[in-house]
Amino acid sequence: MKSSPRKLAQRYYEQGDHIKALEVIEDSILKIGGKLKLPSDLCFLQGHIFMALARKTENSDLKFAFFLASVECYLEDYMLQAFAAVSLFHLGERLGSTLYYKKAVKIAKRSLSVMSFDPSKSDQQKTKRTLEDIVETTGSRIIHGLSVKSSEPN
């Protein structure tokens, strides 16, 4: 019996074989005809893998690339955009970038306005608190000009 791509990719990820997990996801994209048709759970897993790799690596260039890749994955599905806000916030932190902070706030606010958070589900409440923290922290940094540098062109 053949496993679903999600289960197979998850199994590779849990075994620490991130590259093989990403390969299964990319093969799924090719088979179904593009990312727009990719199931949410595969978009989430792909973004989660890139986020995990970003947190794991010490190489700042790789860290940047992995966070940026996670943003792309999370933006593929409307219900995953809250996670894109988190990745964008990390990019803003890493680079001291007003541009990424602004994008993080915009997506966090939009996610807070359209998502419903079940008070009985701790993971949803944690996501809500994280988004609220991003809006508060990032908003004050932008207002007070505390970002180290601006990524926006002159």
Q: Report the distance separating Cα 73 and Cα 43, nearest Å.
A: 6
Q: What is the mean pLDDT of residues 27-36?
A: 74
Asked whether residue 80 carries a pLDDT value surpassing 50, the answer given is yes
The residue that leads in pLDDT, 141 or 35, is 141
pLDDT at 145: 64
Q: Is 44 left (phi over 0), alpha (psi -120 to 50) or beta?
A: alpha
pLDDT at 109: 94
- pTM over 0.85? The answer is no
Asked whether residue 62 carries a pLDDT value surpassing 80, the answer given is yes
Asked whether residue 153 carries a pLDDT value surpassing 70, the answer given is no
Q: What percent helix, strand, coil does the chain show, rounded to 5? A: 75, 0, 20
Amino acid in the structure at residue 47: G
Asked whether residue 154 carries a pLDDT value surpassing 50, the answer given is no
Residue with token string 């807070």: 112
Q: Write the secondary structure of 80-131 as one string of H (helix), E (strand) and C (coil).
A: HHHHHHHHHHHHHHHHCEHHHHHHHHHHHHHHHHHCCCCCCCHHHHHHHHHH
Going by C-alpha positions, the residue among 79, 86, 80, 83 that lies closest to residue 101 is 86
The residue that leads in pLDDT, 32 or 66, is 66
pLDDT digits (tens, 9 = 90+) for 7-17: 999 999 999 99
Per the prediction, the chain carries an average pLDDT of 86
Going by C-alpha positions, the residue among 48, 137, 141, 32 that lies closest to residue 87 is 48
Domains and CATH numbers, the chain: 5-143 (1.25.40)
